[in-house]
Amino acid sequence: MADWPVYVINMDANQTRLARVAEELGRAGIAWDRLPAVNGRALSAEETARVYDAKANARRARHDLVAPEIGCYLSHVRAAEWLRDGGFEAAVILEDDMRVTGDLAGVIAGLQADLAARPGEWDLVKLFSFKPVALSGVRQVGPGVSVGRPDRVPSTTLGYVLTRAGAEKILACVPPIFRPVDEDHKHFWEFGLKVAMIDPQPIAIGEQETTEGTVGESRKRMGKRDGALRRVWRNIRYQANYRLHLALSRGR
Protein backbone atom coordinates (compact mmCIF):
# COMPACT_ATOMS: atom_id res chain seq x y z
CA MET A 1 0.00 0.00 0.00
CA ALA A 2 1.45 3.34 -1.04
CA ASP A 3 2.16 5.78 1.77
CA TRP A 4 -0.01 8.86 2.07
CA PRO A 5 1.81 12.19 2.06
CA VAL A 6 1.69 14.27 5.22
CA TYR A 7 1.44 18.01 4.56
CA VAL A 8 2.23 20.52 7.30
CA ILE A 9 0.82 23.97 6.58
CA ASN A 10 3.30 26.61 7.72
CA MET A 11 3.77 30.34 7.16
CA ASP A 12 7.25 31.32 5.99
CA ALA A 13 7.73 33.59 9.01
CA ASN A 14 6.71 30.98 11.60
CA GLN A 15 10.01 29.13 11.92
CA THR A 16 9.55 28.39 15.63
CA ARG A 17 6.33 26.55 14.91
CA LEU A 18 8.01 24.66 12.09
CA ALA A 19 10.84 23.52 14.35
CA ARG A 20 8.38 22.33 17.00
CA VAL A 21 6.21 20.38 14.61
CA ALA A 22 9.32 18.83 13.07
CA GLU A 23 10.28 17.53 16.52
CA GLU A 24 6.77 16.23 17.16
CA LEU A 25 6.54 14.32 13.89
CA GLY A 26 10.13 13.15 14.13
CA ARG A 27 9.44 11.53 17.51
CA ALA A 28 6.32 9.95 16.01
CA GLY A 29 8.36 8.49 13.13
CA ILE A 30 6.34 10.30 10.47
CA ALA A 31 7.83 11.69 7.26
CA TRP A 32 6.24 14.93 6.12
CA ASP A 33 6.41 17.81 3.65
CA ARG A 34 6.12 21.50 4.44
CA LEU A 35 3.29 23.20 2.56
CA PRO A 36 3.91 26.96 2.35
CA ALA A 37 0.84 28.71 3.75
CA VAL A 38 -0.86 31.55 1.92
CA ASN A 39 -0.37 34.87 3.71
CA GLY A 40 -3.79 36.47 3.58
CA ARG A 41 -2.38 39.79 4.74
CA ALA A 42 -0.14 39.93 1.66
CA LEU A 43 -3.00 39.56 -0.82
CA SER A 44 -3.89 42.67 -2.81
CA ALA A 45 -7.46 43.95 -2.89
CA GLU A 46 -7.82 42.55 -6.40
CA GLU A 47 -6.48 39.13 -5.38
CA THR A 48 -8.81 39.05 -2.39
CA ALA A 49 -11.81 39.97 -4.52
CA ARG A 50 -11.07 37.07 -6.87
CA VAL A 51 -11.19 34.46 -4.10
CA TYR A 52 -13.54 35.98 -1.51
CA ASP A 53 -17.28 36.38 -2.14
CA ALA A 54 -18.23 39.21 0.22
CA LYS A 55 -21.89 39.16 -0.86
CA ALA A 56 -22.30 35.47 -0.06
CA ASN A 57 -20.49 36.09 3.22
CA ALA A 58 -22.99 38.79 4.18
CA ARG A 59 -25.91 36.45 3.42
CA ARG A 60 -24.65 33.14 4.75
CA ALA A 61 -21.77 33.56 7.20
CA ARG A 62 -21.79 34.71 10.80
CA HIS A 63 -18.97 37.23 10.43
CA ASP A 64 -16.82 38.88 7.78
CA LEU A 65 -13.65 36.96 7.03
CA VAL A 66 -10.41 38.57 8.17
CA ALA A 67 -7.29 38.34 6.01
CA PRO A 68 -5.69 35.47 8.01
CA GLU A 69 -8.89 33.41 7.62
CA ILE A 70 -8.78 33.92 3.86
CA GLY A 71 -5.14 32.90 3.80
CA CYS A 72 -5.87 29.88 5.98
CA TYR A 73 -8.63 28.69 3.66
CA LEU A 74 -6.45 29.15 0.58
CA SER A 75 -3.70 27.16 2.29
CA HIS A 76 -6.07 24.24 2.74
CA VAL A 77 -7.16 24.63 -0.89
CA ARG A 78 -3.49 24.37 -1.83
CA ALA A 79 -3.23 21.14 0.18
CA ALA A 80 -6.20 19.71 -1.71
CA GLU A 81 -4.53 20.71 -4.99
CA TRP A 82 -1.27 19.02 -3.98
CA LEU A 83 -3.21 15.86 -3.18
CA ARG A 84 -5.19 15.90 -6.43
CA ASP A 85 -2.26 16.78 -8.67
CA GLY A 86 0.02 14.25 -6.97
CA GLY A 87 -2.41 11.44 -7.76
CA PHE A 88 -2.35 10.14 -4.18
CA GLU A 89 -5.22 8.14 -2.73
CA ALA A 90 -5.34 10.43 0.32
CA ALA A 91 -3.20 12.80 2.35
CA VAL A 92 -2.82 13.82 5.98
CA ILE A 93 -3.15 17.59 6.39
CA LEU A 94 -1.81 19.17 9.58
CA GLU A 95 -1.47 22.73 10.82
CA ASP A 96 1.82 23.69 12.39
CA ASP A 97 0.46 24.35 15.89
CA MET A 98 -0.41 20.69 16.47
CA ARG A 99 1.29 18.28 18.82
CA VAL A 100 1.20 14.51 18.77
CA THR A 101 -0.56 12.98 21.78
CA GLY A 102 -1.28 9.45 20.54
CA ASP A 103 -0.22 6.87 17.99
CA LEU A 104 -0.58 9.09 14.93
CA ALA A 105 1.37 6.69 12.70
CA GLY A 106 -0.86 3.83 13.82
CA VAL A 107 -4.00 5.87 13.16
CA ILE A 108 -2.82 6.68 9.65
CA ALA A 109 -2.04 3.02 8.95
CA GLY A 110 -5.45 2.01 10.30
CA LEU A 111 -7.24 4.53 8.09
CA GLN A 112 -5.25 3.34 5.08
CA ALA A 113 -6.45 -0.20 5.68
CA ASP A 114 -10.02 0.97 6.33
CA LEU A 115 -10.18 2.96 3.10
CA ALA A 116 -8.73 0.04 1.14
CA ALA A 117 -11.39 -2.25 2.60
CA ARG A 118 -14.22 0.27 2.19
CA PRO A 119 -13.50 2.51 -0.81
CA GLY A 120 -15.63 5.64 -0.77
CA GLU A 121 -16.79 5.11 2.82
CA TRP A 122 -15.47 8.53 3.80
CA ASP A 123 -13.88 11.58 2.17
CA LEU A 124 -12.49 13.31 5.23
CA VAL A 125 -11.57 12.10 8.72
CA LYS A 126 -11.07 14.65 11.49
CA LEU A 127 -8.20 13.87 13.84
CA PHE A 128 -9.03 16.47 16.51
CA SER A 129 -11.94 18.18 18.22
CA PHE A 130 -11.98 20.81 20.96
CA LYS A 131 -15.10 19.25 22.47
CA PRO A 132 -16.28 15.65 22.88
CA VAL A 133 -18.02 14.28 19.79
CA ALA A 134 -20.52 11.43 19.74
CA LEU A 135 -19.93 8.91 16.95
CA SER A 136 -22.31 6.57 15.17
CA GLY A 137 -21.57 3.63 12.90
CA VAL A 138 -18.35 3.06 14.85
CA ARG A 139 -15.86 0.42 13.70
CA GLN A 140 -12.36 -0.43 14.83
CA VAL A 141 -9.45 0.54 12.59
CA GLY A 142 -6.63 -0.45 14.94
CA PRO A 143 -5.92 -1.56 18.50
CA GLY A 144 -8.09 0.69 20.66
CA VAL A 145 -8.76 3.06 17.73
CA SER A 146 -12.16 3.58 16.09
CA VAL A 147 -13.68 5.69 13.35
CA GLY A 148 -17.29 6.76 13.01
CA ARG A 149 -19.63 9.48 11.83
CA PRO A 150 -19.67 12.49 14.19
CA ASP A 151 -22.94 13.96 15.40
CA ARG A 152 -21.37 17.32 14.61
CA VAL A 153 -18.25 18.07 12.59
CA PRO A 154 -15.60 19.72 14.78
CA SER A 155 -14.85 23.40 14.19
CA THR A 156 -11.15 22.96 13.55
CA THR A 157 -8.73 22.08 10.77
CA LEU A 158 -5.81 21.27 13.09
CA GLY A 159 -5.49 17.85 11.46
CA TYR A 160 -7.48 15.63 9.12
CA VAL A 161 -7.16 12.98 6.44
CA LEU A 162 -8.56 13.90 3.01
CA THR A 163 -9.07 11.51 0.12
CA ARG A 164 -8.46 12.47 -3.49
CA ALA A 165 -12.20 12.15 -4.14
CA GLY A 166 -12.82 14.53 -1.23
CA ALA A 167 -10.25 16.98 -2.57
CA GLU A 168 -11.96 16.97 -5.95
CA LYS A 169 -15.34 17.65 -4.33
CA ILE A 170 -13.91 20.63 -2.44
CA LEU A 171 -12.04 22.04 -5.42
CA ALA A 172 -15.17 21.84 -7.54
CA CYS A 173 -16.78 24.38 -5.17
CA VAL A 174 -13.98 26.72 -4.07
CA PRO A 175 -12.72 29.31 -4.59
CA PRO A 176 -14.51 31.66 -4.22
CA ILE A 177 -14.91 31.30 -0.47
CA PHE A 178 -17.17 33.08 1.99
CA ARG A 179 -16.88 31.13 5.27
CA PRO A 180 -13.86 29.91 7.26
CA VAL A 181 -12.57 26.54 6.07
CA ASP A 182 -13.56 24.70 9.26
CA GLU A 183 -17.12 26.02 9.00
CA ASP A 184 -17.30 24.84 5.40
CA HIS A 185 -16.31 21.37 6.63
CA LYS A 186 -19.28 21.59 9.01
CA HIS A 187 -21.48 22.30 5.97
CA PHE A 188 -20.41 19.00 4.42
CA TRP A 189 -23.68 18.54 2.51
CA GLU A 190 -22.86 21.56 0.32
CA PHE A 191 -19.79 19.71 -0.98
CA GLY A 192 -21.20 16.19 -0.93
CA LEU A 193 -18.52 15.24 1.60
CA LYS A 194 -18.65 12.13 3.77
CA VAL A 195 -17.02 13.17 7.06
CA ALA A 196 -15.81 10.83 9.79
CA MET A 197 -13.95 11.24 13.09
CA ILE A 198 -11.22 9.22 14.79
CA ASP A 199 -11.39 8.14 18.44
CA PRO A 200 -9.28 8.62 20.46
CA GLN A 201 -7.80 11.62 18.74
CA PRO A 202 -4.03 11.37 18.21
CA ILE A 203 -3.23 15.09 18.15
CA ALA A 204 -3.92 18.20 20.22
CA ILE A 205 -3.32 21.95 20.13
CA GLY A 206 0.27 22.99 20.73
CA GLU A 207 1.97 26.34 21.17
CA GLN A 208 0.05 29.22 19.62
CA GLU A 209 2.53 32.08 19.35
CA THR A 210 3.18 33.31 15.80
CA THR A 211 5.31 35.90 14.07
CA GLU A 212 2.39 37.41 12.16
CA GLY A 213 -0.40 37.14 14.75
CA THR A 214 -3.40 34.82 14.93
CA VAL A 215 -6.83 34.66 13.34
CA GLY A 216 -8.39 35.27 16.76
CA GLU A 217 -6.49 38.51 17.25
CA SER A 218 -7.60 39.82 13.85
CA ARG A 219 -11.20 38.82 14.49
CA LYS A 220 -11.25 40.63 17.84
CA ARG A 221 -10.15 43.83 16.12
CA MET A 222 -12.86 43.41 13.50
CA GLY A 223 -15.45 42.70 16.20
CA LYS A 224 -14.78 46.07 17.77
CA ARG A 225 -15.70 47.73 14.47
CA ASP A 226 -18.95 45.80 14.00
CA GLY A 227 -22.12 46.71 15.87
CA ALA A 228 -23.26 44.34 18.60
CA LEU A 229 -26.74 43.94 17.13
CA ARG A 230 -25.31 43.06 13.73
CA ARG A 231 -23.06 40.41 15.27
CA VAL A 232 -25.92 38.88 17.25
CA TRP A 233 -28.31 38.84 14.28
CA ARG A 234 -25.79 37.24 11.95
CA ASN A 235 -24.95 34.55 14.49
CA ILE A 236 -28.63 33.72 15.15
CA ARG A 237 -29.32 33.47 11.41
CA TYR A 238 -26.23 31.33 10.85
CA GLN A 239 -27.02 28.91 13.68
CA ALA A 240 -30.66 28.51 12.61
CA ASN A 241 -29.73 27.77 9.00
CA TYR A 242 -26.97 25.41 10.02
CA ARG A 243 -29.14 23.37 12.38
CA LEU A 244 -31.96 23.14 9.83
CA HIS A 245 -29.75 21.93 7.00
CA LEU A 246 -27.80 19.59 9.29
CA ALA A 247 -31.06 17.95 10.33
CA LEU A 248 -32.17 17.68 6.71
CA SER A 249 -28.84 16.14 5.70
CA ARG A 250 -29.08 13.55 8.48
CA GLY A 251 -32.59 12.62 7.35
CA ARG A 252 -31.55 11.79 3.80
Q: For residue 150, say if its preceding peptide bond is cis, omega within 30 degrees of 0.
A: no
Q: Is the pLDDT of residue 214 over 80?
A: no
Q: Dump pLDDT digits (tens) for 39-98.
A: 999 999 999 999 999 999 999 999 999 999 999 999 999 999 999 999 999 999 999 999
The pTM for the full model equals 0.91
Query: Of 36, 34, 37, whose CA–CA distance to 21 is shortest?
Result: 34
The DSSP line for 105-119 is HHHHHHHHHHHHHST
- Residue 1: the pLDDT is 43
Q: Is the pLDDT of residue 217 over 80?
A: no
How many whole angstroms separate alpha carbon 173 and alpha carbon 189?
12
Amino acid code (one letter) for 19? A
- Residue 207: the pLDDT is 81
Overall average pLDDT of the 151-177 stretch: 97
Q: Is the pLDDT of residue 222 over 90?
A: no
Q: Dump pLDDT digits (tens) for 226-238.
A: 678 888 888 898 8
Say if residues 83 and 3 touch (Cβ distance below 8 Å): no
